[in-house]
Structure 1
């Protein structure tokens, strides 16, 4: 028996003995290399074989999990998952939380990334519908107005496929969802900067994504309560995400103003880093010259050289709860329950905000 076949057989034996169950994560590549005293290539060959047999499934950046094959008459056991990007920023945390729940119940996660493109999202949804998935978890592309794929999602839902939204919503509560209280988070961001002595506060935001628009609205609400009108606030809007984001270009425009604010609210960490990068080019220091506060508490925000003050995004919890509630809908379709869960904001204070006075 070849080395990789020996590893694959061990996994099969562990499953047969009840030591590995659907949803359980296999030992890491390093652990298997040490356990069997083989090369990484042998471990990878074993995993590829198990994946091809449908015994395991590998999720990039997360690990390899045991899966259960679908049983005739029990549906596809597939759950469609649609987010902007599957392997970067906060999305792996969400996927991990979701997969841990689904795999333990014998479901497989079909990962798809829309890249914040409405047409691409529609094509993905049509494919998932045609593959007769048992449910869909999606972060929908929606700016708060204009076009969306809500019509297609409603049609899919009417065919008996439950839909669960995460991190973004449509105007009418037609689907169950889990989101942050983004408006309150924006309000709290402005309030924190105000308490730190800042009176000249700018906003750098994505204007074609509802979630980030709500963060902006919350910040404007607090500043309005302090007697600051929107016309007095430096606001620079960008569009798109990922490679299509205009954050870098618009960050240049932010610094063209003759009167620079002492602090800025960025509507996510990626945008904040683009702004900080432009500031560095111009010799503007954070936080000495410009304080920055953001959202999502991503891994990049936690890096020591960045140390970005940011609101927590509990991605693993969001994924876990989304999967749990979707399974309840699959198990009890006759109830027709719609649940809208809202998570309270929590600020992680680091070094990117300077206190101007006591």
Structure 2
């Protein structure tokens, strides 16, 4: 629960970021803030004092409190020899994220940058807190994995503030369409198409697709799933598309698949999964129901993570570049920072899209071979 002190502090900071308070503009008085937020003078003074200490505001004796010009702070900070980069990912310690972070961190450290790593837990509120820290500390550049990139983002103004302060940023795995940033991503639509096409070529026609749709990756992979069906003139049943969001990822896919297996649609022979993590969850469900993979149902994952090879059934999956993506992101942000400081530089930053590749293992099988058994 947000304390009253943090509520006041966050509101004033948001008004600065959103441009409601402009550089050198006087902010609301203590009395006005007390009345607006229903808090004591002590609470207001604590919040304002913190923002003054962090360089967001400054006081003039007898005149009041004013919004600081943070672009000047950044200019002064450039005399400091310490170079720093922020890396923001949705998660830190699980799945493919450690590999991505290691790839970026290794290159950045080699080039003399201090690296600070943040996680949003794929939550907009946490993303806002991370961006506030980044803006407060004035990093030289930022590598960001967007939070819930498949839905409208309430924190766009924070990225615009980075641009206003001339702090370069790039996005990995996905991006916010509104910003049209430099990005390094997978061709997720083609990835979804390759997953599904692989099963269709093996003779599967009754295929279920399961996708996380509050991330751009899931939306694109679902598009590829549908495209593969259309290109092969195979109809898709509405019940065979399972969608879920971040908060539902541990429950809804399992619940929906169990319903399908118990219904008249239980004749499904193939599963296309948003990622390997989901594939492992569904594989466990099938094992508990004595449904064999690939003898009864074939499964295709995405990202070719460590999970793809640690289970009893080795997972057919789409390759994700992981550490290579991290290293490329590091090279790109360094080049952007260098070109900003070198006015003679001709560096033209551009986005990159990785072409997906399918690694076939033992979780998929030809339907004709199954019918002969």
Match of 1:99 among 94, 100, 105: 105
1:195-274 counterparts in 2 under 5 A? 195-231=201-237, 234-240=240-246, 244-257=247-260, 258=263, 259-260=265-266, 261-274=268-281
Query: Could you tell me how far apart the structure 2 residues matched to 1:184 and 1:174 are?
Result: 21
Shift of 1:139: 0.4
Partner-residue secondary structure (3-state), 1:292: strand
Corresponding residue of 2:328: 321
Q: CA deviation at 1:89?
A: 0.7
Question: Would you say the 8 A contact 2:316–2:364 is kept in 1?
Answer: yes
- Cα distance in structure 2, aligned partners of 1:101 and 1:337: 20
Query: Retained in 1: the 8 A contact 2:123–2:148?
Result: no
For residues 117 and 77 of structure 1, do their structure 2 counterparts lie closer, same or farther at Cα, with a shift above 3 Å needed? same
CA distance in 2 between partners of 1:76 and 1:126 (Å): 20
Asked whether the 8 Å contact 1:252–1:278 carries over to 2, the reply is no
Per-residue CA deviations over 1:217-248 (Å, capped at 9, x if unaligned) read: 111011012223443560111211xxx44333
Which runs of at least 4 in structure 1 moved beyond 3 Å after TM superposition? 229-233, 334-338
Q: Shift of the alpha carbon at 1:305?
A: 1.2
* From 176, 183, 191, the counterpart of 2:189: 183
Query: Cα RMSD over matched residues?
Result: 1.9
In structure 2, do the counterparts of structure 1 residues 75 and 221 end up closer, same or farther at CA, with 3 Å as the change threshold? farther
Q: Is 1:349 matched up with 2:368?
A: no
Aligned position for 1:174: 180
The equivalent of 2:313 in structure 1 is: 306
Alpha-carbon distance in structure 1 between the residues aligned to 2:127 and 2:186: 22
SS of equivalent to 1:171: coil
Shift of 1:282: 1.7
> CA separation in 1, counterparts of 2:200 and 2:236?
16
Aligned: 1:340 with 2:351: yes
The TM-score normalised by the length of structure 1 is: 0.75
Provide Cα deviations, 1:45-72, integer angstroms capped at 9, x if missing partner: xxxxxxxxxxxxxxxxxxxxxxxxxx98
Distance in 2 separating the partners of 1:251 and 1:182: 23
Q: Shift of the alpha carbon at 1:76?
A: 4.2
1:277 is paired with a residue of what secondary structure? helix
After TM superposition, list the pairs within 5 Å mapping 1:40-189 onto structure 2: 73-74=79-80, 76-172=82-178, 174-189=180-195
Alpha carbons 2:226, 2:236 under 8 Å: kept: yes
Deviations 1:151-209 (A, max 9, x none): 31122122111011000112246311100000011111111111111111110111211
What is the deviation of 1:122? 1.0
The 8 Å contact of residues 144 and 172 in structure 2, kept in 1 or not, is answered as yes
Q: Distance in 1 between matches of 2:154 and 2:350?
A: 21
Return the offset for 1:284. 1.4
Structure 2 gaps of 5+ residues are 1-76
Q: Does 1:284 align with 2:291?
A: yes
Kept in 1: contact 2:149–2:174 (CA 8 A):
no
The whole-number CA distance in structure 2 between the counterparts of 1:308 and 1:279 is 14
Deviation at 1:309, TM superposition (A): 0.6
Going from structure 1 to structure 2, the CA distance change for 1:197 and 1:229 (only over 3 Å counts) comes to: closer
Superposed displacement of residue 146, structure 1: 2.2
Larger Rg: 2
TM-score, L = length of structure 2: 0.72
**Separation in structure 2 between the aligned mates of residue 332 and residue 74 of structure 1, nearest angstrom:** 18
CA contact (8 A) 2:190 2:356 kept: yes
Unaligned runs of 5+ in 1: 1-70
